[in-house]
Structure 1
Amino acid sequence: MAFSRIAFLASPTAEAEAARQALEAAHGPCTPADAEVIVALGGDGFMLQTLHRHGGLGIPVYGMKLGTVGFLMNQYRADGLLERLAFARHNVLRPLEMEAVTEGGQTITSLAYNEVSLLRQTRQTAHLRIAVNGQRKLDELVCDGMLVATPAGSTAYNYSAHGPILPLGSEVIAMTPIAAFRPRRWRGALLRSDAEIGIEVLDALKRPVSATADSHEVRNVVEVRIRESRTHTVNLLFDPEHDLADRILNEQFES
């Protein structure tokens, strides 16, 4: 597919901003609202920011790595961009929806393309009650926290917490504990992507917990509901030799 209207967005670093200016000089300026494709210049954090800010436009996003972490990015090259975009592979991602209720009664919603994580806010361990599709599965998980990860995010925080790597298109999400104390042998769960997860924070005043959807943190939550979005998708573009699905597969064979 050929693209002619390209919006270039850069992370707030001198290197990324210089690349943005050079690419705009070569291909012309364009706003995201008027573009056919967005080119994000930075690292994975900036890619997630771009998806949160502009994912609702429904146009593809192509990242080039000019940051420290670049799992969601292609290699940066200034030349041959139009050809790379034309032959790029499309990976459709569906984020998680987080609905968090705070101790003060406020309900806050957010999307997560990588994961939703719950973490203790103090030295006290978190005590969590977990339900899936309205059925209670764990009466009490004593832990530092837990997370629910998408396939795209399964190689990030989830993998560091000893969660499984999930292939793209598997229609599975991972529920992974963080430093679980009880039940001692509970290693988490694999759930269908259409599962609805309910997490209740027990003794929330003494043992406060925060919930974070990617980088959007909500403090002092008492209840969190998580499910895969029915309405939001994003389309990430990758060079054929750098395809996201292939890289997630290869991660499982690296030592």
Structure 2
Amino acid sequence: MEVALWGGNFNPPGVHHAEIARALAEIAERVVIVPAGPRSDKHEQNAIACSFRAALVDIAFRGIPRIELDFSDLENQVFTTNDELTKRYPDVDLWHVVPYDFVEGGASSESLIQRWWQGANELWNQAKFLIVHDQDCVPNPEDLPPHHRLMEVRTKGRSLDIRSALVRGENVSNLMDPAVLGFIESRGLYRLSEPAHSRLISLDGRRGHYFFDPRNQAARDWAKRFSGVAIEEADYVVALGGDGTMLRAIEDFWERRIPFFGVNFGHLGFLLNDREDVTQSGFPAEDVIVRDLPLLRVESTLLDGSTRIDLAFNDAWLERSTGQTAWFELQVDQHPRFDKLVCDGILACTAAGSTAYAASMGATPMLADTEAWMLVGSNVMTPRGWKSAPISMNSTIAIRNLDPRKRPTQAFIGGKPLGEVTEMRIRPSRTAFVELAFLPEHDMAKKIANMHFPSG
């Protein structure tokens, strides 16, 4: 079996999902899991933000071999039907993973697949189905599609039952992985109250993974005072250095879905806690405030017409690659803002990233948890006087090079070059975010003020 394609809600994922994934990994070369996007006919799928749903799936299936997570539905907030998913995997031995109740009634063409799936008749008769069941619910042979295989699992479970129990405040520890449940409880998910994007936690008693540049002697000496663990065992990451060190740690480990606590052994350290504050408070700290900060999703069109998608915690930008100015068309939510922006370059940054390159370009930095992001121009000639603009978290911007042959532009994502790019579409990701941890006394506003009003 080449590819096992498993679409579902996983809302939330339980231990039964993990058992099925492990069983699939034993018989398939690849197991592709596709959490379904929002649906108007299933309001429960919209109960929590797509970013939280993606994080829960990341945690639930972490460490299981051959697993591939496809967050395209959550990222684009769409629901892709199975007949469309099939088209993504042409010329492979593809098996659709479904629960046994999806084929019940198949003998009389009354199964859920036959009644509700798009392209049902063709899929039922031509596609291959891997049907998951427990020992108490063996499908009727007469109900089975022509091309099928049965897979029995021991653990029973339904996301609906877990979700209902969480709403009622019942104990579900036997139904969920502790890390998944911990993530849910820390944010109050599946409760009647609004989920939290910032919260107070304790690092005391938890295991930290220390990340630093070994050439930084002070950071290396500080790390020796504590017993770190491998990233696979860590409950949080400790970044020792400057903002660059924190950015590298985020790039390497954000998908672990654990907090990042920075200690400044660099210069400004906007994303880190001051070393003196950490020393005075004691480490590991009993109280830290964790904030969920989104990454930018950047879709770039390369010179050959191909596209690629990247994530950026700080910023992404386009700049001229010759001596001539760049000419850009700028749209916000498909609405033209600048028909012709003449400049050296244009940068998009998160609120957290506004203290970096954006600030050096003259933009006013924002606090890291500001509910906005920013667009900044470099040496803008037309329209005269334009420098920057805040952008809504729900907006998408499109930047297009008006003359890529005569005025080529090169792109950078988080400082890393992409080469020549003709267009960028940028928005906050709906599935990727970083958990930054700060001491309660951390004052980013003071650091920003010091940057604007340097002493001496």
With the length of structure 2 as denominator, give the TM-score of the two structures.
0.51
Question: Which residue in the other structure is 2:212 paired with?
Answer: 10
- Pick from 20, 30, 34 the counterpart of residue 233 of structure 2: 34
CA contact (8 A) 2:333 2:397 kept: yes
Question: Which residue in the other structure is 1:103 paired with?
Answer: 303
Larger CA deviation: 147-156 vs 70-79: 70-79
Query: Structure 1 residues 167, 18: closer, same or farther in 2, change over 3 A?
Result: closer
- Pick from 244, 251, 257 the counterpart of residue 52 of structure 1: 251
Unaligned runs of 5+ in 2: 1-201
Question: Which residue in the other structure is 1:197 paired with?
Answer: 397
- Pick from 180, 184, 192 the counterpart of residue 384 of structure 2: 184
CA distance in 1, matches of 2:413, 2:205: 32
Superposition pairs of residues 94-133 of structure 1, within 5 angstroms: 94-133=294-333
CA distance in 1, matches of 2:394, 2:386: 22
* Counterpart amino acid of residue 51 in structure 1: I
CA distance in 1, matches of 2:451, 2:266: 24
Question: Which residue in the other structure is 1:238 paired with?
Answer: 438
CA distance in 1, matches of 2:271, 2:313: 11
Query: Structure 1 residues 10, 207: closer, same or farther in 2, change over 3 A?
Result: same
**How far does residue 29 in structure 1 lie from its aligned partner after superposition?**
3.3
CA RMSD of aligned residues (A): 2.3
Question: Which residue in the other structure is 2:356 paired with?
Answer: 156
**How far does residue 102 in structure 1 lie from its aligned partner after superposition?**
0.7
* Counterpart amino acid of residue 124 in structure 1: Q
**How far does residue 86 in structure 1 lie from its aligned partner after superposition?**
2.1
CA contact (8 A) 2:219 2:265 kept: no
Relative CO higher for 1 or 2, CA cutoff 8 Å, sep ≥ 6?
Answer: 1
1:92 counterpart SS class: strand
2:272 counterpart SS class: coil
- Pick from 223, 226, 239 the counterpart of residue 423 of structure 2: 223
CA distance in 2, matches of 1:11, 1:199: 36
Query: Structure 1 residues 79, 222: closer, same or farther in 2, change over 3 A?
Result: same
Query: Structure 1 residues 3, 52: closer, same or farther in 2, change over 3 A?
Result: farther
Structure 1 or 2: more strand by fraction: 1
Q: Quick one: percent identity of the two aligned structures?
A: 31
CA deviations 1:170-227 (Å, max 9, x no partner) are: 3211111100011113233222111100111121122121222212221110110100
CA distance in 1, matches of 2:322, 2:285: 47
CA distance in 2, matches of 1:201, 1:250: 36
Question: Which residue in the other structure is 1:61 paired with?
Answer: 260
CA contact (8 A) 1:112 1:214 kept: yes
1:233 counterpart SS class: strand
- Pick from 275, 283, 291 the counterpart of residue 76 of structure 1: 275
CA deviations 1:28-48 (Å, max 9, x no partner) are: 231112101110111111111
1:48 counterpart SS class: helix
CA contact (8 A) 1:85 1:237 kept: no
Query: Structure 1 residues 121, 3: closer, same or farther in 2, change over 3 A?
Result: farther
**How far does residue 83 in structure 1 lie from its aligned partner after superposition?**
4.1
CA contact (8 A) 2:291 2:369 kept: no
Larger CA deviation: 153-162 vs 11-20: 11-20
Q: Runs of 4 or more off by more than 6 Å in structure 1?
A: none
CA distance in 1, matches of 2:303, 2:338: 22
CA contact (8 A) 1:16 1:41 kept: no
Structure 1 or 2: more helix by fraction: 2
Structure having the higher Rg: 2
CA distance in 1, matches of 2:286, 2:392: 33
Query: Structure 1 residues 12, 18: closer, same or farther in 2, change over 3 A?
Result: closer
**How far does residue 14 in structure 1 lie from its aligned partner after superposition?**
4.1
**How far does residue 147 in structure 1 lie from its aligned partner after superposition?**
0.9
Is residue 2:347 matched to residue 1:141?
no
Question: Which residue in the other structure is 2:366 paired with?
Answer: 166
CA distance in 1, matches of 2:364, 2:348: 11
Count of residues paired in the alignment: 251
CA deviations 1:98-140 (Å, max 9, x no partner) are: 1111102232222222221211112111111111111221111
